[in-house]
Amino acid sequence: NFSPSNHTFLQDLWYKARYTEAEKARGRPLGAVDKYRIRRKYPLPRTIWDGEETVYCFKERSRNALKDLYNQNRYPSPAEKRNLAK
C-alpha cells in the first residue's frame, strides 16, 4: 500500500493514463461524459483509494457535511459560504 500523502498524485496518474488510453483508442479527445464512464468502468485500485465513495465529484463525508448544513440553514450568507469552503 502507498502512503496516503501520495494518493492524490497516484489517483491523478491513474486517471490520466486511462484517459490517454481511451483517447488513443477512439482517436478523439474525451468529453466529460466519456471521462465519467471511464472512471466508473475502471475504479481506483484499493492501494491508492481512501475507501470513500465519490458521488457528483464530492466524497461521502463532504456530501454529509453539506446536507447537515443545508438542514440547519437553507440560505447561508456569502460569509457562511466562504467559511464552509475553507
Residue labelled with grid coordinates 498524485: 9
- What pLDDT score was predicted for residue 16? 96
**Phi and psi for 55 in degrees, rounded to 5?**
-130, 125
Of 33 and 62, the one with more pLDDT:
33
pTM over cut 0.85: no
Query: Domain spans of the chain?
Result: 1-51, 52-86
Of 44 and 26, the one with more pLDDT:
26
**Tens of pLDDT, residues 34-52:** 999 998 899 888 888 777 6
Percent of the chain topping pLDDT 90: 36
**Tens of pLDDT, residues 75-85:** 888 888 888 77
- Separation between Cα atoms, residue 7 and residue 76, nearest integer Å: 33
